[in-house]
């Protein structure tokens, strides 16, 4: 009897372990990730209104996913009409596999995270207001540059201050500045900074809620990169600009007469494909004239047909928008910082450094 009871206990334990393993496998299989679904133009909804478009894509999923894989229910967090034709959603692996088999679906692309790049200056490119492109542009005061990046920090920044010499912003621009508790649009936006929006649904879908103690869920830049690229593209002239009193001089953007509209789609850990596509979507709808984009994936560059920002840029170009994208982060340093190294025996060497403290404090190495 005792032997039978022991055998029964072993059997029950084995069943419990097998059930737990099966449940674990099912849980892993049903894990959801973010994807961008590209829908064939002929099967795409025709609505121009974002809410109706999102509702139509929710119906698209309900109609095309069999009952056996309908749960967990996908969540559509963006819909696209201009930058792409399709939507961003959360799906399981089985749901992805089924959608990829449909004729109405052109591609299912994982929602990758991209990282920011940097840019150079007009002096390095030998541009001058006295001749060439800058002179022919006549200040380009009728141009709005949409900057897709980490936002903008306009507080106390002369590069983005109201400029009484500028005429009113162009009538063709349809954008606006979005106010939040940390971004007072009526105080920060003016005839220079004419638009400010932000997008985070794709980022939060992958990383969870943004910690607003560290980042501002608003157009406000808490990383610095977007402010840098916006001022590089269109910042007004600032005299005696410097980096901790080093490298003093006049700082001016490539086209200081143009207006800036910022589209914040990058955050502390980077920017999701889905948020960046939505930034392109709004920039195209707002009718900016130029889109500045200094972002790329880390590691291996995706094939062109999988590069969603490149596709969005193509859509923007078809609408007559110039897209300026950075080519990489391995840029040229276009200035020299001279430093002196004095050895313990008094021998002096003159060279270059990136980390000079000041002209009076020379580094010493023994």
Per-residue pLDDT tens for 293-339? 999 887 777 888 889 999 999 999 999 999 999 876 655 555 566 77
pLDDT at position 22 over 70: no
CA separation, residue 56 to residues 39, 52, 102, 278 (Å): 12, 6, 17, 17
Q: According to the model, what pLDDT value does residue 25 have?
A: 43
**The two three-digit tokens of residue 310, written as one number:** 């490149």
Rounded to two decimals, the pTM is: 0.79
Residue 360's pLDDT band (cuts 50, 70, 90) = very low
Q: What is the mean pLDDT of residues 181-209?
A: 97
Q: Where are the alpha helices (DSSP H) in the chain?
A: 2-29, 50-64, 93-100, 133-136, 185-188, 201-207, 225-234, 273-285, 308-318
Distance CA 256, CA 163 (A): 10
Q: According to the model, what pLDDT value does residue 27 have?
A: 46
Name the burial class of residue 121, with classes exposed (0-12), middle (13-18) and buried (19+) by CB atoms within 10 angstroms of its CB: middle
Phi-psi region of 287 (alpha: psi -120 to 50; beta: other; left: phi over 0): left
Q: According to the model, what pLDDT value does residue 366 have?
A: 35
Per-residue pLDDT tens for 28-46? 458 999 999 999 999 999 8
Q: What is the mean pLDDT of residues 170-186?
A: 97
pLDDT at position 228 over 60: yes
Angle between helices 308-318 and 273-285 (to 10 degrees): 10
Distance CA 361, CA 36 (A): 54
Q: According to the model, what pLDDT value does residue 244 have?
A: 76
Please spell the DSSP secondary structure of 143-204, one letter per residue: -EEEEEES-B--TT-GGGS--TTSPPPPTT----BPPBTTB-HHHH-SSSEEEEEE--HHHH
**The two three-digit tokens of residue 132, written as one number:** 């060439």
For 104, residues 6+ apart whose C-beta sits below 8 A from its C-beta are: 39, 40, 42, 43, 64
Query: In terms of pLDDT, which residue wins out, 254 or 355?
Result: 254
SS3 label, residue 348: strand
Q: What is the mean pLDDT of residues 61-88?
A: 96
Domains of the chain, start order = 28-110 (3.30.70.80), 114-325 (3.40.50.200), 336-366 (no CATH)
Q: Quote the DSSP letter at residue 122.
A: T
Query: In terms of pLDDT, which residue wins out, 56 or 331?
Result: 56
Residue 211's pLDDT band (cuts 50, 70, 90) = very high
For 187, residues 6+ apart whose C-beta sits below 8 A from its C-beta are: none
Please spell the DSSP secondary structure of 265-304, one letter per residue: --BTTBEEHHHHHHHHHHHHHTT-SEEEE-EEESSSPPPG
Q: What is the mean pLDDT of residues 232-243?
A: 86
Q: According to the model, what pLDDT value does residue 123 have?
A: 59
Residue 134's pLDDT band (cuts 50, 70, 90) = low
pLDDT at position 107 over 80: yes
Contact 169, 259 (CB under 8 A): yes
Tell me which residue of 272, 324, 315, 321 sits closest to 80, measured CA to CA: 315
Tell me which residue of 161, 196, 174 sits closest to 289, measured CA to CA: 174
CA separation, residue 344 to residues 132, 248, 341, 347 (Å): 52, 31, 10, 7
| 133 CA to centre of own chain | 29
How many other CB atoms sit within 10 Å of the CB of residue 137?
15
């Amino acid at each position: 009897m005792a032997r039978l009871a022991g055998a029964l206990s072993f059997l029950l334990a084995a069943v419990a372990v097998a059930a737990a393993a099966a449940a674990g496998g099912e849980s892993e299989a049903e894990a959801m990730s973010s994807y961008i679904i590209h829908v064939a133009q002929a099967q795409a909804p025709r609505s121009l209104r974002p809410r109706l478009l999102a509702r139509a894509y929710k119906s698209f999923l309900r109609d095309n996913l069999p009952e056996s894989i309908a749960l967990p229910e996908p969540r559509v967090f963006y819909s696209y009409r201009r930058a792409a034709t399709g939507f961003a959603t959360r799906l399981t692996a089985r749901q992805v596999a089924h959608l990829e088999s449909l004729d109405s679906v052109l591609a299912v692309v994982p929602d990758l995270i991209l990282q920011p790049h940097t840019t150079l200056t007009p002096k390095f490119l030998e541009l001058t207001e006295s001749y060439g492109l800058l002179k022919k542009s006549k200040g380009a005061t009728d141009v709005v540059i949409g900057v897709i990046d980490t936002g903008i920090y306009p507080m106390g920044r002369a590069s983005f201050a109201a400029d009484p010499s500028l005429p009113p912003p162009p009538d063709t621009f349809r954008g606006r500045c979005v106010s939040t508790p940390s971004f007072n649009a009526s105080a920060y936006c003016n005839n220079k900074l004419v638009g400010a929006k932000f997008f985070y649904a794709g980022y939060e879908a992958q990383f969870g809620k943004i910690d607003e103690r560290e980042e501002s869920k608003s157009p406000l830049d808490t990383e610095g990169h977007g402010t840098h690229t916006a001022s590089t593209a269109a910042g007004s002239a600032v005299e005696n600009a410097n980096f901790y009193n080093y490298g003093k001089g006049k700082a001016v953007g490539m086209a200081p007469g143009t207006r800036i509209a910022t589209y914040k789609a990058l955050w502390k850990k980077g920017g999701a494909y889905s948020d960046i596509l939505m930034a392109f979507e709004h920039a195209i709808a707002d009718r900016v004239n130029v889109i500045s984009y200094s972002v790329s994936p880390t590691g291996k560059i995706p094939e062109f047909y999988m590069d969603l920002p490149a596709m969005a840029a193509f859509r923007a170009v078809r609408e007559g928008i110039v897209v300026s994208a950075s080519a990489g982060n391995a840029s040229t340093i276009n200035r020299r910082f001279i430093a002196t190294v004095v050895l313990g025996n008094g021998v002096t060497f003159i060279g270059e450094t990136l980390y000079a403290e000041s002209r009076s404090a020379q580094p010493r190495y023994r």
